[in-house]
Amino acid sequence: MKQSVLVTGATANTGKVIAEKFAKEGYDVFVCSRSGEKAAAVAEELQNTYGIFAKGYETKIFDENDVIRIFDDIRSMGYLLDCLVLCAANLGIRQEFFSVSVNAFMEVVNTNIGWNFMLARQAAMQMKEKGGGSIVFINSNTAYRAIPDRVAYSASKAGALGMMRAMALDLGKYHIRVNAVLPGMIKTDRWENNDNNCRQALSNYTPLQDIADFEDIANAAWYFGSELSKNATGAELTVDGGNMIQLYPVIPENRRN
């Protein structure tokens, strides 16, 4: 049976590069997106570029029957999944504390924790049957350190980290490993157009004076997803240029008053 991976949020940015990394390594790839059209297009691109089998799925967020449908389809094609990479996230941007509705807050939590739980559980059923597997959460250093107007996002990422550890404990006896990659900032379009002017402050906040490329996160996901990390479970790998360990900004001498 060929090795296979399912990647959520795989039609753009980090998720797409993660899907490409596994395809390059010879994995068959299942691509999930809220857009069936985009998922199918990326699957076709992966097949044509890497000569592997790929299939796209349109996903309904926080719908367990929909998740079961996808995993049943994967099984019906003769696969039991080896790896699940949970990259999609509701970013919960500009949720001002006093005005955010409870519904909007819960949508973020339901996606980043509840939906990921549904996906992980279905994946774990196949992995248990197969005798092992790997579940990789693309989390965030906001699980530990907050950013403004992102209360639900920060809470959901911290919650997802706790969920990762609990799953690692429950699933270890089935040789299913569960780990998390914690990016800081990644070079997406959002970064290019960042209205908090983070770009200007970059060297003041990150010891390595740079943030992550998509490939940095994809390599970390590959580490946890593959046998390279066969003895790691319940673990975190922070990939943030050192952003998380720096307590206060270091202002270059020529910019001090």
Ligand X SMILES: NC(=O)c1ccc[n+]([C@@H]2O[C@H](COP(=O)([O-])OP(=O)(O)OC[C@H]3O[C@@H](n4cnc5c(N)ncnc54)[C@H](OP(=O)(O)O)[C@@H]3O)[C@@H](O)[C@H]2O)c1
The residue of the chain with the least Cβ separation from ligand X equals 9
Please, which residue, 74 or 88, has the CB nearer to ligand X?
A: 88
CB 240 within 8 A of CB 184: yes
Examine residue 185 and tell whether it contacts ligand X (CB under 6 A): yes
Q: Which is nearer to ligand X, 157 or 177 (CB)?
A: 157
Residue 161 CA to its chain's centroid (Å): 12
Asked if 56 touches ligand X (CB under 6 A), the answer is: no
Residue 58 sits at φ, ψ, to 5 deg, of -80, 130
Q: Tell me if 14 contacts ligand X by CB under 6 A.
A: yes
Task: For the CB of residue 245, give the shortest distance to ligand X in the complex, in Å.
Answer: 16
Q: How far is the CB of 108 from ligand X (least distance, A)?
A: 8
- C-alpha 36 chain-centroid distance: 19
d(CA 179, CA 48): 30
> DSSP state, 234?
S
**87 scored as a contact of ligand X (CB under 6 A):** yes
Among the listed ranges 7-15, 47-55, 65-73, 93-101, the one in contact with ligand X (CB under 6 A) is: 7-15
* 109 binding ligand X? (CB under 6 A): no
Please state the separation of Cα 192 from the chain's center in Å. Answer: 21
Q: Rounded to the nearest whole angstrom, what is the least distance from the CB of residue 61 to ligand X in the complex?
A: 5
By CB atoms closer than 10 A (0-12, 13-18, 19+), residue 23 is: buried
Q: Of 7, 30, 33, 237, which one interacts with ligand X (CB under 6 A)?
A: 33
Diameter of the chain measured on Cα atoms: 66
38 binds ligand X (CB under 6 A): yes
Applying CB under 6 A, which part among 49-57, 82-90, 126-134, 144-152 lies near ligand X? 82-90
Give CA–CA dist 16/102, Å, rounded: 31
Q: Cα–Cα distance between 149 and 184 in angstroms, integer? A: 17
In angstroms, rounded to a whole number, what is the distance separating the alpha carbons of residues 224 and 145?
23
List, in sequence order, every residue forming a beta bridge with 176; answer none if it has no partner. 133
What is the per-residue binding string for ligand X in 196-235, x denoting contact by CB under 6 A?
Answer: ----------------------------------------
**Site residues (CB under 6 A) for ligand X?**
9, 11-15, 33-35, 38, 61, 87-91, 111, 138, 140, 183, 185-186, 188
